[in-house]
Structure 1
Amino acid sequence: MSARTPVDLRPPVDPQAQDVRTVRRLRLGVGVLGSLLPIALPVGNSLTSARIALLDSMSASYYTPMRNVFVGGLCAIGVFLICYRHNRREDRLSSVAGVLAIGVALFPTEPPDSVTAHPSGVQTAVGMVHLACAAGLFGVLAYFCLRLFADPPAAGGRRPARDRVYLVCGWVIVAGVATVAAAGVLHLARDWPLTLPYLGEAVSVLAFGVAWLVKSEALAGLAPRPARPATAGA
């Protein structure tokens, strides 16, 4: 009697899926860049100008010696997001976010008054594209934090600490974008050393960076605990 051919009961492997280590590394790359960019830009501007130099917005770094850091950092985040693969919904949204991040980098904001008092029509139009890309990018990143990263509540209704971090980061992004919009419409505090648009953008970028760092499981205290192996019954 011939031996039976063993049946493979494992679920089929998606050829487009990435291994767990690659997913974590991409999340870590996005998190590190997002966390460092709001800090590197003002520090770099201050060092190159030999004074404390804060701009009207993070995007205004395009018109400073930190242009390459700003553009390069956003393009790197965009590439990481486009390459990110986890599940179909996250894949699509991360690709959209990646394209928007590259759009923010390649379509500069309208130059500030310190650069040119009367921007051309082309500069104004490109600045509008920049704003649209930035608004879309922050919207997608907030959605990641509020709806995709957090797990459903447990039976007792209690969420793990990492899920609370995602929710806080998501609402911080929403609040930061609202601050930028309000400051732009109402022309608030443009003469302050730390302007509201810069503060709103920096806090939003930092929040999404922290969320992706937590999701990468790089922070041991917030990483999910491995499931315990089931014990055989007596």
Structure 2
Amino acid sequence: MPSQELQPSDYRMRKLIGTLGLSLPIILPIVKWEFLSSISHYYYATLSSLLFIIILSAFGLFLISYKGYVKDTETEQVSDDFLTNIGGFAALIVVFIPTICYGSASVTIDNLCVSENYPLFGHNNTTLSTIHLVSAGMFILCMGWISKYKFTRGKKALHNKIYKHCGNVVFISVALLITGLVLEKFDINFIINEYYVYIFETIAVFAFGTSWLVKGEAIENFTDFKNRMLN
């Protein structure tokens, strides 16, 4: 692919997306002070709900705004812009169509579900929950695809290995997550019990968050900062 110049804002956007990815699974349980069965269930906790909406909305808007490289018509079938738009809109759907209230592994949220005092767009509708789940899957898979097949067009061999490994981790995490959901449908206990969705979501989000940070040259920025401090 021919070399293309990126604006400083592109690198900042990458670092922002990466930072959001790494912070999301950490901030929510700290604020709630409780692990839930999935990241999406933090929508139903008071303060973590606000952070969930803000972070996921920022994710969506940043991805839609991000253009990346112009598509090389000779070697590429799908552009960066198309993939980030799909991922961005999927992230926004995750916000506006939250997961089902029940199944959070939290007594507090279970009581809220029984009272049907849902926050904002909260619900107990299985159809809406399926839309949410599919959208979340599309969002994560787009991030994995970008990491493995788009970011690896650069000339830095070490960075390309990181992107490929991050993409593979995303795909494996999604595959294990789907396996767990299928086993659950057949009432077969999964190895990691009620928290397997949160665990695999977190692994996937950490992976693509790392990939975006590296692509945003966060390593180079840190190295430059360290050198300036030492000199």
TM-score scaled by length of structure 1 = 0.75
Could you say which residue in structure 1 is the equivalent of 2:16? Answer: 29
The amino acid across from 1:167 in the alignment is K
Give, in angstroms, the shift of residue 87 of structure 1.
2.4
Could you say which residue in structure 1 is the equivalent of 2:27? Answer: 40
Q: Say which of 51, 64, 67 aligns to 1:69.
A: 51
Could you say which residue in structure 2 is the equivalent of 1:130? Answer: 132
Q: Does the C-alpha gap of structure 1 residues 186 and 27 become closer, same or farther in structure 2, counting only changes over 3 Å?
A: same
Give, in angstroms, the shift of residue 116 of structure 1.
3.1
Alignment deviations for residues 193-232 of structure 1 (CA, whole Å, 9 cap, x no partner): x711110001111111110000000112899xxxxxxxxx
Pair 1:104-2:94 in alignment: yes
Q: Say which of 83, 95, 99 aligns to 1:93.
A: 83
Q: Does the C-alpha gap of structure 1 residues 18 and 44 become closer, same or farther in structure 2, counting only changes over 3 Å?
A: farther
Deviates more, 1:143-152 or 1:25-34: 143-152
- Between the aligned partners of 1:111 and 1:190, the Cα distance in structure 2 is 23
Q: Does the C-alpha gap of structure 1 residues 43 and 160 become closer, same or farther in structure 2, counting only changes over 3 Å?
A: same
Conserved in 2, the CA contact under 8 Å of 1:108 and 1:127?
yes
- Between the aligned partners of 2:160 and 2:24, the Cα distance in structure 1 is 24
- Between the aligned partners of 1:137 and 1:191, the Cα distance in structure 2 is 23
- Between the aligned partners of 1:140 and 1:200, the Cα distance in structure 2 is 16
Conserved in 2, the CA contact under 8 Å of 1:78 and 1:101?
yes
Pair 1:172-2:157 in alignment: no
Alignment deviations for residues 143-188 of structure 1 (CA, whole Å, 9 cap, x no partner): 1011000137x7xxxx721111111110111111112211211124
SS in 1 for 2:98: coil
Structure-to-structure mapping, 1:6-17, within 5 angstroms: none
Pair 1:186-2:168 in alignment: no
Q: Give the alignment's Cα RMSD to 1 decimal.
A: 2.8
SS in 1 for 2:61: helix
- Between the aligned partners of 1:75 and 1:18, the Cα distance in structure 2 is 28
Structure-to-structure mapping, 1:142-181, within 5 angstroms: 142-151=144-153, 160-181=157-178
Structure 1 stretches lacking a partner, 5+ long? 1-16, 47-52, 224-234
Could you say which residue in structure 2 is the equivalent of 1:60? Answer: 41
Conserved in 2, the CA contact under 8 Å of 1:146 and 1:166?
yes
Q: Does the C-alpha gap of structure 1 residues 63 and 164 become closer, same or farther in structure 2, counting only changes over 3 Å?
A: same
Larger Rg: 1
- Between the aligned partners of 1:172 and 1:207, the Cα distance in structure 2 is 6
SS in 2 for 1:55: coil
Give, in angstroms, the shift of residue 99 of structure 1.
0.6
The structure where helix makes up a greater share of residues is: 2
SS in 1 for 2:113: coil
The amino acid across from 1:173 in the alignment is V
Conserved in 1, the CA contact under 8 Å of 2:17 and 2:212?
yes
- Between the aligned partners of 1:109 and 1:181, the Cα distance in structure 2 is 16
Alignment deviations for residues 39-90 of structure 1 (CA, whole Å, 9 cap, x no partner): 11111110xxxxxx11111111111121111111010011110111222411
Give, in angstroms, the shift of residue 118 of structure 1.
11
Conserved in 2, the CA contact under 8 Å of 1:214 and 1:222?
no
Could you say which residue in structure 2 is the equivalent of 1:140? Answer: 142
Conserved in 2, the CA contact under 8 Å of 1:18 and 1:85?
no
Conserved in 1, the CA contact under 8 Å of 2:99 and 2:132?
yes
TM-score scaled by length of structure 2 = 0.76
Structure 2 stretches lacking a partner, 5+ long? 71-78, 104-109, 117-121, 224-231
